Amino acid sequence: MPLLLLDLDNTLVDRDAAFRAAVADFLAEHGLPDSDLTWAMAIDASGYTARDEVAAALTDRYGEVVPTTAVRSLLDNGAADRVVLAQSARKALNKAQADGWTCVIVTNGRTVQQEAKIRKTGLDRLVQGWVVSEAVGHKKPEPEVFQAAADAVSVPLPGAWVIGDSPHADIAGASALGLQSVWVTDGRAWAQDSYQPTHIAEDVASAINHAIRTSG
């Protein structure tokens, strides 16, 4: 049974769009300049900046007018409350399962937040399992998190495909394990020389469909 390991944020769901909408609402609610949206998105760095660092930056900038509870709520629930799963991704996951693939989400982040996204979008009904870095004590690109994903569904890791948007976390992680991979570009160009994805796709649906076709 082939194994498909899928990243969550900015791969299966557009986490940046959800967080951008949350920040825009946050700024409007507290009467803050909407031009600060660009600053906040840069600080967040697509979720790769540690939550405590983002919280400290927001508190330092807005602490006199925004309660810390509001900052906490933005970071804990802002993106999770707004993420959506594209119909094309839903269709591709259904096809993967129909073709006998075992699909597992492999995501860095905090367990409560990531599982909220998975359940809100209905991904919990479209995949056979998931692993979150906080829960397993390892984060991508460390090999242990990919192995934990395979172990969670009792499928051997060799031969798996990895699909994700991060060159470092997803594609380098797959390359180190000798796994095939699809990089989801979102309009970006590949800029790494030391490793390469097996395939490049514009979106996650195209990535899933490529893996299915290639291994069929």
Per-residue pLDDT of the chain (216 residues; tens, 9 = 90+): 799 999 999 999 999 999 999 999 999 999 999 999 999 999 999 998 999 999 999 999 999 999 999 999 999 999 999 999 999 999 999 999 999 999 999 999 999 999 999 999 999 999 999 999 999 999 999 999 999 999 999 999 999 999 999 999 999 999 999 999 999 998 899 999 999 999 999 999 999 999 999 986
Same domain, 36 and 66: yes
- Residue 153's domain is classified under what CATH number? 3.40.50.1000
Nearest to 78 by CA among 13, 23, 151, 152: 23
- Could you tell me if 157 and 170 lie in one domain? yes
Are 207 and 163 within one domain? yes
Cα 172 versus chain centre, distance: 15
pTM of the model: 0.94
User: Domain range spanning residue 88?
Assistant: 3-14+83-215
Last residue of a domain, which of 55, 77, 99? 77
73 shares a domain with 157: no
**Secondary structure (3-state) at 150:** helix
Same domain for 72 and 117? Answer: no
Number of folded domains that form the chain = 2
